Amino acid sequence: MKLITDEQVRQVLTMRESREVVRGAFLDTAYERAATLPRSRVHLDHLTLSVMGGIVPDAHVSGAKIYSTHAGRFDFVVVLFDTNDGRFLATIQGNALTEFRTAATTAVAVEAQLPPGAHTLTVFGAGVQARAHLAALLELGMFRRVFIVSPGDGEALAASLAETHPDLEIATSDAPAAVSQADVLITCTRSETPLFDGRLLKPDVFVAAIGSSKPRTREIDDVTLQRASRIVVEHKEQARKEAGDLLMAKHGTIDWDSVVELGQVLAASDGAVQRRTGITVYKSVGIGLVDVALSALVYRKADR
């Protein structure tokens, strides 16, 4: 049995490669060259067991991401199979992989729908996903100013970021100031209620809510959704079950017929960086197909 650890994942993966694999996986879904297994959950006592996955023929793999949730903590593994003969390939610890996958997907979504002249990034949160998203988005090279909104632990993250990015203007801020100046705004929290007033958003801004895949929690309010000219999700079927930011909105706020999938956006842009006016909301819940596609890259690189 081949086990690839989180440490090995961090050694072989780069964010640039992750973005390329993520973009390819979503294009495969748009062109119906891949199949997604939506997330399924079962609960008992204080434990939740979740399974999600997919088949990625271009990468010659299929697989499933399996994880437990206990007391707010997650532990992930991905089981990988060869699509040519169905044989087992490897089990990959999925904690580091999930960081790369989620942040890389957001970066791909941002590149495809970037507001004109975007240079200010606002991030809510200072945990694992906030750090991963900062790494992924700053690698794109267009941001000159960063606001971190996270009372208590935001200062330490800002100080760390300033050491590695001395050319950037980096500051902690309260929500109103950070929201009103954002060109790209990312929420990476476990908040159950909206984090800011959508009336503060600029007319042209990209908003990504990635903090939760639960149907009864939300980070953005109805005003943000009402002002949005486009709402993007990874997989509409899964979003309609899990995306609390959309499901908890006032009746009539969301027109699901107008909600588009990220693969469709990428196919329409032909892989190029696009400039988009208006407010774009990207709601992420995570799909297993992308975990599987990224696991294939890890497997190939770790097996060298």
Contact 154, 130 (CB under 8 A): no
Q: What is the pLDDT of residue 93?
A: 97
Say yes or no: 266 and 298 in one domain.
Answer: no
Could you tell me which residues come within 8 angstroms of residue 22 by beta carbon, excluding any fewer than 6 positions away? 101, 104, 105, 108, 290, 293, 294
Say yes or no: 218 and 122 in one domain.
Answer: yes
What is the Cα–Cα distance from 124 to 175, expressed in whole angstroms? 8
Pull the structure tokens for residue 292. Answer: 């599987």
Say yes or no: 151 and 189 in one domain.
Answer: yes
Say yes or no: 154 and 228 in one domain.
Answer: yes
Say yes or no: 279 and 295 in one domain.
Answer: no
Say yes or no: 203 and 245 in one domain.
Answer: yes
What is the Cα–Cα distance from 159 to 155, expressed in whole angstroms? 6
Say yes or no: 76 and 174 in one domain.
Answer: no
Q: Is 50 within a domain?
A: yes
Phi-psi bin for 60: left (phi > 0), alpha (psi -120 to 50), beta?
left
Q: For residue 297, give the nearest of 131, 104, 32, 135 by alpha carbon.
A: 104
What is the count of structural domains for the chain?
2
Where in the chain does DSSP place strands (E)?
Answer: 3-4, 35-44, 47-56, 61-70, 73-82, 88-93, 120-124, 145-149, 169-172, 184-187, 205-209, 228-233, 260-261, 279-283
Q: Is 105 within a domain?
A: no
Say yes or no: 206 and 232 in one domain.
Answer: yes
What is the Cα–Cα distance from 271 to 108, expressed in whole angstroms? 9
Q: In what order do the strands lie in the sheet with 120-124?
A: 169-172, 145-149, 120-124, 184-187, 205-209, 279-283, 228-233, 260-261
Full domain range(s) for residue 258: 114-286
Pull the structure tokens for residue 284. Answer: 């992420």
What is the Cα–Cα distance from 54 to 32, expressed in whole angstroms? 12
Pull the structure tokens for residue 94. Answer: 């999925």
How far the first Cα of the chain sits from its last, in Å, is: 16
Longest dimension (CA), the chain: 56
Say yes or no: 19 and 144 in one domain.
Answer: no
Q: Is 107 within a domain?
A: no
Q: Is 104 within a domain?
A: no
Q: What is the pLDDT of residue 261?
A: 97
- What is the 8-class DSSP label of residue 250? P
Give the CA-trace dihedral at 79, 266, 263, 195, to 10 degrees: 90
CATH code, 295:
3.30.1780.10
Q: What is the pLDDT of residue 152?
A: 84
Q: What is the pLDDT of residue 29?
A: 94
- Residue ranges of the chain with per-residue pLDDT less than 50: none
Q: Is 29 within a domain?
A: yes
What is the Cα–Cα distance from 134 to 266, expressed in whole angstroms? 22
CATH code, 273:
3.40.50.720
Say yes or no: 264 and 118 in one domain.
Answer: yes
Say yes or no: 270 and 298 in one domain.
Answer: no
What is the Cα–Cα distance from 236 to 51, expressed in whole angstroms? 18
Say yes or no: 73 and 10 in one domain.
Answer: yes
